[in-house]
Structure 1
Amino acid sequence: MIGPKPSSSKKTTSKKRSTRKPKVVEHPLSSEKLFTNREVGWLHFNRRVLTEAEDARNPLLERLRFLSISSSNMDEFFMKRVGGLKRQVAYGISPKSADGQTPSQQLATIRQIVIPTVQEQDRCFEKNLKPALAENSIFLLKWADLTAKEKELVKKYYQRNVFPVLTPLSVDPGHPFPFISNLSTSLGVTLKHPERDEKLFARVKIPKVLPQWIRVNPEAVTYRFVSLVEVIRENLADLFPSMQVIGAMAFRLTRNADSEHDQEDTEDLLETIEEELRQRRFAEVVRLEHGPNPDPWMIEFLMSELELAEEYIYELRGELDYTDLNMIYDLDLPKLKYEPWTPLVPPALTVEDASGFFSAIKAQDHLLHHPYESFSSTVEKFIRFASEDPKVLAIKMTLYRTGDNSPFIKSLIRAAEAGKQVVCLVELKARFDEERNIYWAQELENAGVHVVYGVVGLKTHAKTSLVVRQEAEGLRCYCHIGTGNYNVTTSRFYTDLGLLTAREEITNEVVEFFHYLTGRSLKNSYDKLLVAPVNMFPRFKAMIEREGEHAKAGRPSQIIAKFNNMEENDIAMSLYQASQKGTEVDLIVRGFCCMRPRVPGLSDRVRVTSIIGRFLEHSRIFYFRNGAQDPLDGDFYMGSADWMYRNLHARVEAIVPILDRGLKEKIWEILQLSLKDQRQTWQMTADGDYTQRKASNEVGVQQVLMQLTKQRVKNIEESASSSDS
């Protein structure tokens, strides 16, 4: 643990406070001045991700990966957020955002921010990354940059591997405009018949089944690549013999992924989601990206065929899809990447038999911090042992995004085949994972697992699992409650927390929680758990208001919350009021935050920071001082929900209190390190912008936590070894 221990040092207790009660201000500002815009906040977040690509302190290939992430993020933003706003405009719906903008105004604002961001992406690639890659013998070339021998080799590769896959589609009275799928890259080709004057359009899809960058010298020490788009462009004459190829332009479409189906009726939910997936392929276009120096005739033709206005057209000077560069990141060049990190296993959970594993959980609660601590050797093992242990009678679990080839699915199927009672809630409406979740739901049902699809009208976003075990003294329940998905892949680069516990005051309520999910229980009297949409919102609001009353009375008052996004206006107003009464409020929000910090008279004591780094900050932690002199005597919570309207009111979420003092120390350490970080942190300003902390000699909070995890495990092992000897 860094610094003095809170429970034993006066330095970490509250400073002497003035006995004068702070004046509470009823702030006269309109809602437009109270809140920032959600869409703008998200675009600011993605700009922070892009800054990591520009930051020379990061390893070169990691910078390339951050560029790819910023590009992928922008794709999702257009599919989900721009698509939804565009649909509102088309339907004549004009709800105002928290800061008072109509959908049309927000779309105009988005474009004003996206254009310079896209230009910055291109500058980062062309001016920063490509030259730096070349200095490290990685060359991303144009066709003209290839030697004669290289062109000959690539031509042979094209004829053998690319040409047979391509399908040129022309448009004329006998051939309608082709369907162009979402996020696919195409070459638009302008053709002319040698005996006619009119121009013709043809489209050549760039096949994603092939490598998007072709290595032209696989046997050499250096890495020389040319893009597949460039190679196809240079060989178009082979696709259109005897026709004149006047010009070619690469372009890419983004389609709306915002659902317009009413999914209240869960009787036909599976069929509804399957139909939605089919329709998504044909959804309206929300963005057309094209390369530099476009043919005006082709742009006009595409706009007409796609029924797309000019404000949805974006010109790119660099690559159309920076996610294609992931194959360059995958090169075996460890010196150009972060030092590899292998998650460590808490010594108490290294046992390799089910009885010992469950005994370790029964003996004490375990708070797991991923990816610093292993997900596979703890949470995955929890479900695997439960599926194999003959003493386990039942397993219940929620699945939101589980990934391909999931070991959790295999364990649940194995448990069902062994005759155990297995219940799995599969969330079919997890955006962009619907198809995968439908597949796994059907596989589970075929194996005899009881599959349910959640509560009517609500997405189930909670990360919970329950194991019921027959023991000598009777049935005992064990549970896991986490902040992240049951997904082995993302657990390696998302920071998340998970609690393994056998405390009856918690497991008894988790049993009731699953009855709510599967049996439509109307229980609303949870004592320990915060469950959305049952009691979470009023409990959070009450705890915030309680902090304000503590501050007003001169008692220690502090709120620290760490999560992904913030836009619940009632919670924000309560935080403003607590700040005005004297409560210190720190929000560590990775993505967007719609509050305005440090506004005089409104939010003087509210600070908002954002941490961006090699791991995606995903954990949700909530701390309330509750008048305690020692901060460890305050209230600690963790779970699945952000402070967003959808999480608190329109999803099923679960948050659990941390009761063990040692685990409180662990969370306090995470929060304090996050607040003090000078390397990976951005500070939000009152106008919604961010400034970066740039201490060049500081080690970032994520690196510190890796070092602390190593030291903690080493200390425990040395202590155990000393005891044995």
Structure 2
Amino acid sequence: MDPVTDLPSAPARLSARRPAPRPAVPPQSAPAAPPAPTPAEAPTDLPDDRYLNRELSWLDFNARVLALAEDTSQPLLERAKFLAIFASNLDEFFMVRVAGLKRRDETGLTVRSADGLTPREQLARISERSQALAERHARVFQDSVQPELAERGLRILHWDDLTQGQRDKLSEYFFEQVFPVLTPLAVDPAHPFPYISGLSLNLAVTVRDPHSHTERFARVKVPNNVPRLVPVESDRDGPPGAEVVFLPVEDLIAAHLGELFTGMEVTEHHAFRVTRNADLDVEEDRDEDLLQALERELARRRFGPPVRLEITDSMSEHVLELLLRELDVDPHDVMVVPGMLDLTMLWRVYGVDRPELKDPPFVPDTHPAFAEGETPRSVFATLRQGDVLVHHPYDSFSTSVQRFIEQAAADPQVLAIKQTLYRTSGDSPIVDALVSAAEAGKQVVALVELKARFDEKANIRWARELEKAGVHVVYGLIGLKTHCKTSLVVRQEGSRIRRYCHVGTGNYNPKTARLYEDLGVLTSDPVVGADVADLFNSLTGYARQSRYRTLLVAPYGVRRGLVQRIEDEIAHHRAGRRAGIRFKMNSIVDEQVIDALYRASQAGVPVEIVVRGICALTPGRPGLSENIHVRSILGRFLEHSRIYHFEGADEYWIGSADIMHRNLDRRVEVLLRVNPALTDQLDALLSSALDPTTRCWVLGPDSVWSPSPAPDSVTGPVRDHQTESTRRRTVAAE
């Protein structure tokens, strides 16, 4: 049976709601083997300095996150949250990106970045820029957020700030809860310098023998199984809960160091923190179990080489010299931080029940297509009437995508469920539904990507749980990460088989679906169903699919498909037809796609780009990119969806792929061409993001990001894109 022409046609009642069958996407290779791309020759008509450095662009992105913490119009605890996000982002940047650059530099690889810098040159610029950002980050907390928190009754104090009564109670807590888990480790000829685990908080302690006056060094690890911020009973009058006081646990330990080093004089103590290389390097072998190889590599991760040493600005030179020597850290890898280290602790402060200091509560709505009183409507009945586009978090994930999988698991007419899992939540209803489906005798396939960075352990656990339930678990493909977000449900309906699909931009994670802005299409379109079925056959078997009709699939297919469509827009413009390009994504780095956009700009095609994070493209440059405009939107929700709109072709694509080498060459990614009946919603979304009055950052030809709209540049109110998205969904529901 031919997967296209021999599929049963849609019911007659759908013909008025669906467009004519979509023309075939140009043939492309299947993701059956890792690609071996060769760099395209640089176009002779484009200047050599046309790319921005991706690492420095990422630091620019994190600076925009920091700007949200500086924004006094934000609720106070939201500002604290953005300080925590900035800190977490920077940790991961050093663990992965800086670690990779250091590895290339140390092995003598002089491969230059797209903007012509060697690894060593990039590391030097990163060091300078990240140090400046770290200082700015610390000052925002110390000089602005912390004092304002104190004014609102949320105080983070130090030992010297406490009353004697508070100290006495905390000393009791110390001896009962903290002291038993502390292990001071001396450093001397009989005691080698201890291993310092990545991202752990430590105290470097110098003690002196009162008799011999000999000074010794010791390290005390701040335990990660006690709260970083210890609650302190307030000594101020007021209603219960009016004031919340915390003491950093390192301060509590420091105040009691004499109990750890009895008979010695504690002369100084300083906090420090080491960041280690956490980028996995799994050597995949077709004859070796991938799960076992990954578990072995995870065990090695904690012993990765140091890539950053964070110290407080009070640390003495001789203690710093000892740490540099013993940890084998280059002085250029030292980050000096004013005040406290590791402000990810502010998540604890954000968790305090003070709703007046946070954004108003947000509750997603059920998509109008699935809303039917108190009884959930059958997702399958809805999709037989037409495709549904869901926009999270404005549309509830639990009453759309999650319900789709749960109803499939419980439906006796469903024969099979096929599902990709890249990241999911700790308590996953999606996994529970797949387990229930397998136990009910359905054929269930789960493609669990074990190599999802920093979620490897969780995914190994899910894989084993699914296998125990009888789910057919596939761990991914050799040399590739499976990053696409796809589900396929096969259902018996009378004498025929019908396929139902979901293709999205975000993970099957109900928790992040309330925080991340993402899109998904639910459909019973037989052509899409045939494509997704072919895709799963490629992922789970040896099929080498050479043709998709409604999908672009990476590796191989996404870059080629996007570049071809950019060239088509150039042709439309030159022929005097309507033409234009609008992209929304997380990052744009790939040189071939960027060069195609430059050529479109040179031809006169307007190009509008909304990018949350990294942008290696230079907009607004005369003769190169004067028709390209780039903006970035950050806010309450993480802008995560990817949309690719080609105006001349009147095509909208959504999916999992950003314009990055890893997405286009080393991952299985899927873009879906969206049914024209749904594109008005996507047009409204892009138009809102690109509205001149929408609050954003704009990238200039000087490579500088500037807030927009500029003061006094608009006569009316400044729009908030995410607030507008909430309003649009509310209107649609009514």
Give the structure-1-normalised TM-score: 0.92
Counterpart of 1:685?
700
Q: Unaligned regions of 5+ residues in structure 2, if any?
A: 1-41, 235-239, 712-716
Greater shift in the superposed pair: 311-320 or 388-397: 311-320
State the one-letter code of the partner of 1:607.
H
2:365 maps to amino acid? L
Note closer, same or farther for the CA distance 1:266–1:684 as it changes in structure 2 (3 Å cut).
farther
Q: 1:132 is matched with which residue?
A: 148
Matching of residue 263 in structure 1 with residue 291 in structure 2: no
Q: Does the CA-based 8 Å contact 2:644-2:654 persist in structure 1?
A: yes
Q: For residue 272 of structure 2, what is the aligned residue in structure 1?
A: 251
Q: Deviations over 1:628-661 (max 9, x none)?
A: xxxxxx1111010011111112110011111142
Give the drift of 1:534.
4.1
- The percent of aligned pairs where both chains have the same amino acid is 44
Return the offset for 1:256. Answer: 0.3
Is the 8 Å Cα contact of residues 559 and 584 (structure 1) preserved in structure 2?
Answer: yes
1:56 maps onto 2:76 in alignment: no
1:473-513 deviation digits (Å, cap 9, x = unpaired):
41100000000001111111100001000001111110001
| Residue 298 (structure 2) pairs with residue 277 (structure 1) | yes
Aligned residue for 2:680? Answer: 665
Match of 2:714 in 1: none
Q: Would you say 1:84 and 2:100 are equivalent positions? A: yes
Q: Is 2:556 the counterpart of 1:547?
A: no
Q: Which residue number in structure 2 is paired with residue 571 of structure 1? A: 593
Aligned to 1:723: none
1:159 is matched with which residue?
Answer: 175
Instruction: Give secondary structure in 2 for the equivalent of 1:254.
Output: strand
Q: Is the 8 A contact 1:524 1:534 kept in 2?
A: no
Q: How does 1:474-493 map to 2 (within 5 A)?
A: 474-493=496-515
Deviation readout 1:504-541 (Å, 9 max, x if unpaired): 11111100010010012111211211111142221111
Question: Could you report, residue by residue, the CA deviation over 1:102-152 in whole angstroms, capped at 9, with x for unpaired residues?
Answer: 000000010110111011001100111011112212111121111222222
Partner of 1:500: 522
SS at match of 1:63: helix
Residues 602-621 of structure 1 aligned to structure 2 (within 5 Å):
602-621=624-643
Question: Which among 188, 196, 199 is matched to residue 183 of structure 1?
Answer: 199
Residue of structure 2 in register with 1:713 after alignment: 733
**Is the CA contact (8 Å cut-off) linking 2:205 and 2:268 kept in structure 1?**
yes
In structure 2, the partner of 1:36 is: 52
Q: Taking structure 1 as reference, are residues 610 and 314 closer, same or farther at Cα in structure 2, changes over 3 Å only?
A: same
Give 2:10's aligned residue. Answer: none
Task: Compute the displacement of 1:704 (Å).
Answer: 1.1
Q: Supply the distance in 1 between the matched residues of 2:339 and 2:285 (Cα, whole angstroms).
A: 44
- The 3-state SS of whatever aligns with 2:399 is helix
Which deviates more, 256-265 or 512-521?
256-265
Deviations 1:553-582 (A, max 9, x none): 221110001000001101111111111111
| Post-superposition offset of 1:257 | 1.2
Q: Which amino acid aligns with 1:79?
A: M
Counterpart AA for 2:300 = Q
Greater CA drift, 36-45 or 512-521: 512-521
How many angstroms apart in 2 are the aligned matches of 1:366 and 1:261? 39
> Which residue matches 2:421?
399
Amino acid at match of 1:476: R
Give deviations 1:418-477, integer Å, cap 9, x for gaps: 110000101011111111111111111111111111222111000000000000241100
What is aligned with 2:328? 307
Return closer, same or farther for 1:217/1:680 CA change in 2, 3 Å cut-off. Answer: farther
What's the counterpart of residue 561 of structure 1? 583
| Structure 2 residue 223 is matched with structure 1 residue 213 | no
Does 2:126 match 1:110? yes
> SS in structure 2 opposite 1:163?
helix
Asked if the contact 1:612/1:680 (under 8 Å) is kept, the reply is no
Q: Is the 8 A contact 1:549 1:581 kept in 2?
A: no
Counterpart for residue 169 of structure 1: 185
Of residues 637, 646, 649 in structure 1, which corresponds to 2:662? 646
Tell me the SS of whatever aligns to 2:288: helix
Output the CA distance in 2 between the equivalents of 1:353 and 1:224.
Answer: 46
1:325 aligns with 2:346: yes
Q: Secondary structure at the match of 2:87?
A: helix
Q: Which amino acid aligns with 1:46?
A: N
Paired AA for residue 606 in structure 1: I
Give the direction of change, closer, same or farther, for the CA distance of 1:440–1:604 in structure 2 (3 Å limit).
same
- Within a 5 Å distance, the mapping from 1:620-639 to structure 2 comes to 620-626=642-648, 634-639=650-655
Number of residue pairs matched by the alignment: 682
Q: The residue matched to 1:164 in structure 2 has which SS?
A: helix
**Paired position in structure 2 for 1:238:** 259
C-alpha displacement of 1:334 = 0.6
Q: Does 1:120 align with 2:136?
A: yes
Other-structure match for 1:334: 355
**Separation in structure 2 between the aligned mates of residue 145 and residue 365 of structure 1, nearest angstrom:** 61
SS at match of 2:378: helix
Q: Distance in 1 between matches of 2:437 and 2:77?
A: 42
Q: Is residue 468 of structure 2 the alignment partner of residue 446 of structure 1?
A: yes
In structure 2, the CA distance between the partners of 1:26 and 1:430, relative to structure 1 (3 Å rule), is closer
- Asked whether the equivalents of residues 688 and 694 of structure 2 are also in contact (C-alpha less than 8 Å), the reply is no
AA partner of residue 490 (structure 1): T
- CA–CA distance in 1 between the matches of 2:613 and 2:220? 37
Deviations 1:53-77 (A, max 9, x none): 0001110000000000000000000
TM-score by length of 2: 0.91
Counterparts of 1:646 and 1:605 in 2: how far apart (Å)?
27
1:551 CA displacement = 1.1
CA distance in structure 1 between the aligned counterparts of 2:126 and 2:149, rounded to whole angstroms: 32
Q: Is the 8 A contact 1:479 1:507 kept in 2?
A: yes
In structure 2, the residue matched to 1:294 is 315
Secondary structure, counterpart of 1:278 in structure 2: helix
The answer to whether the 8 Å contact 1:369/1:497 transfers is: yes
CA distance in 1, matches of 2:137, 2:62: 11
1:358 alignment partner in structure 2:
380
Kept in 1: contact 2:581–2:647 (CA 8 A)? yes
Give a deviation string over 1:85-114, Cα, whole Å, max 9, x none.
111111111110000000000000101101
Q: How far apart, in 1, do the equivalents of 2:675 and 2:709 lie?
A: 36
Structure 1 runs of 4+ aligned residues shifted over 6 Å read 352-355
Would the aligned equivalents of 2:695 and 2:718 in 1 still touch at CA under 8 Å?
no
Match of 1:675 among 690, 711, 716: 690
Deviation at 1:220, TM superposition (A): 5.8
Q: Partner letter of residue 419 of structure 2?
A: M
Show the counterpart of 2:409: 387
State the AA in 2 paired with 1:226. Answer: L
Q: Judge which range, 342-351 or 280-289, deviates more.
A: 342-351
Q: CA deviation at 1:271?
A: 1.4
Higher relative contact order (CA 8 A, sep 6+): 2
Give the distance between the partners of 1:415 and 1:260, measured in 2 at CA: 35
Give how far 1:347 is off: 2.8
User: Does the 8 Å contact 1:254/1:286 carry over to 2?
Assistant: yes
**Unpaired stretches in structure 1, ≥5 consecutive residues:** 1-24, 628-633, 715-725
Matched AA of 1:342: V
RMSD: 1.7
> Are 2:370 and 2:377, in contact at CA under 8 Å, matched by a contact in 1?
no
